[in-house]
Amino acid sequence: MRAAVKGCTDMSCANNSPDTSDLGRDAQTEFREILNTVAHGFEGTAEKNRPRLQPFVNYFPTHLGPILDVGCGAGLMIELLTAAGATAVGIDQDPGQAAIAQSHGLRVVTAHAHEYLADRPDEYGGIFLRHVLEHFDGVEGLRLLYLCRKALKPGGIVVIVTPNFDVASVRHSIFWLDVTHQRPYPLPLLLHIFSALGLETVDSGCRQAEEERDLFIVGRVPAATTRL
């Protein structure tokens, strides 16, 4: 699972950016450190996540410009995309995770996704979001996908990976291990959102080989399209 703090990439996601104004400065810092520890508590290792990420690399074009990993963490997907010949960049809300990625020579900045994407229309050949969307309520999640759609070039690809609530262990336990999860996004809803955004669904389903059987959906901006 991606970390909760880095998954929530917008200050409007209130439960992920709690109001700590009633705490003193030292207590605010202490609480945020505790929140960060809890949020990262159930992340998988790089060794576990690398084979989970690798199959998604092939969906992205390498000729349409940079590919953006939203909530990139330490940059594992960026490394895989770069190794495949793509130009890959990332954003992450957590300065610590961004610093780790930067120390590996990766192009990563600390930013909130909604704010970052709003200023970059038609800039990316691809956008990747793994274990990010579920950190937003329905309206903010839709707004994030709308901004992703606007930030993609014609022919650009968006890939979303999110917990699969059809799996009993996810529904009853795994999803709730992250204190900042807001809601699940079932595949029929994602298909409907893609249609409303004018995205062609290239592929969708679940990762049967994995314990959690994550949902995934791959969308493409039509090659000849008018801007939203």
Please give the pLDDT value at position 2. Answer: 39
- Containing 141, the helix (H) or strand (E) segment is helix 138-151
pLDDT 10s digit of each residue in the chain, 228 long?
333 333 333 333 333 555 565 666 778 788 888 877 787 766 777 888 899 999 999 999 999 999 999 999 999 999 999 999 999 999 999 898 899 999 999 999 999 999 999 999 999 999 999 999 999 999 999 999 999 999 999 999 999 999 999 999 999 999 999 888 999 999 999 999 999 999 999 999 999 888 889 999 999 999 975 566
Crossing angle (nearest 10°) for helices 76-83 and 46-57 = 50
Cβ count near 106 (within 10 Å) = 20
For 62, left (φ over 0), alpha (ψ -120 to 50), or beta?
Answer: alpha
Could you tell me which residues come within 8 angstroms of residue 2 by beta carbon, excluding any fewer than 6 positions away?
43, 71, 73, 130, 131, 132
Amino acid identity for residue 163 in this structure: P
* pLDDT at site 5: 31
Q: Are 148 and 120 in contact (CB under 8 A)?
A: no
